[in-house]
Homo-oligomer: A and B are copies of this chain.
Amino acid sequence: MEIELYSHEYFMNEALKQAKIAFEEGEIPVGAVIVSKNRVIAKAYNQTEKLNDVTAHAEMLAITSAANYMGAKYLNECRLYVTLEPCVMCGGALFWSQVGEIHYGASDPKRGYLQSNPSILHPKTKVFSGSLALESEQLLLEFFKKLRK
């Protein structure tokens, strides 16, 4: 049996695909996937407009979905890939989930919370950033440019 090991960029690209769905649906384009044992177990994109709910960030929906799939609240063995640096709310949720790794693409100097406050996370959670950052940022810039028109 041959096991194909996907790269971090592969999974970030899956998150970016989710962000593109958000873009098409008129949502701020942020996407996330959660990976367990090198397999995507949850995909989500920001749905704050459609669900009329400020809590419906991609990461929040992905956490709920992954826990549902795992049948367990804690995601210690999982990796989150998200196209944009998580905000305070999502950082807090990721703390509670005890997620193993967080990989985010673009930095969010305004609302991102991990870079300046890594201590809000679970001490065992590892954080990586920058994968497909340019593509993720470009999509956001395009969205806000379109919105202003």
> A residues engaging B (CB < 8 A)?
48, 52-55, 60, 63-64, 67-68, 71-74, 87-93, 95-97, 113, 120
CA distance A96 to B74 in the complex (A): 25
Which residues from chain B contact A91 at a C-beta distance below 8 Å? 88-89, 92
Q: What 4 pairs across the A-B complex have the smallest Cβ distances? A: A89-B92, A88-B92, A54-B96, A89-B93
When C-beta atoms are compared, the residue in chain B nearest to A121 turns out to be: B88
In the bound complex, residues from chain B placing their C-beta under 8 Å from that of A68 are 52-53
- Give the residues in chain B near A72, CB-CB below 8 Å: 52
CA A46 to CA B113, docked complex, whole Å: 25
Residues of B within 8 A of A120 (CB): 88
Oligomer copy total: 2
A119 to nearest B CB, angstroms? 10
A sample of 11 more A-B contacts (CB under 8 A), given A53-B68, A89-B90, is A48-B73, A52-B72, A52-B73, A53-B73, A54-B67, A54-B73, A55-B60, A88-B91, A88-B92, A88-B95, A89-B89
Q: List 16 A-B contacts (CB under 8 A).
A: A48-B73, A53-B63, A53-B64, A54-B73, A54-B93, A54-B96, A55-B55, A55-B63, A55-B64, A55-B96, A87-B96, A88-B92, A88-B120, A89-B89, A89-B92, A89-B93
Q: By the criterion CB–CB under 8 Å, are B52 and A67 in contact?
A: yes
Nearest B residue to A65 by beta-carbon distance?
A: B53
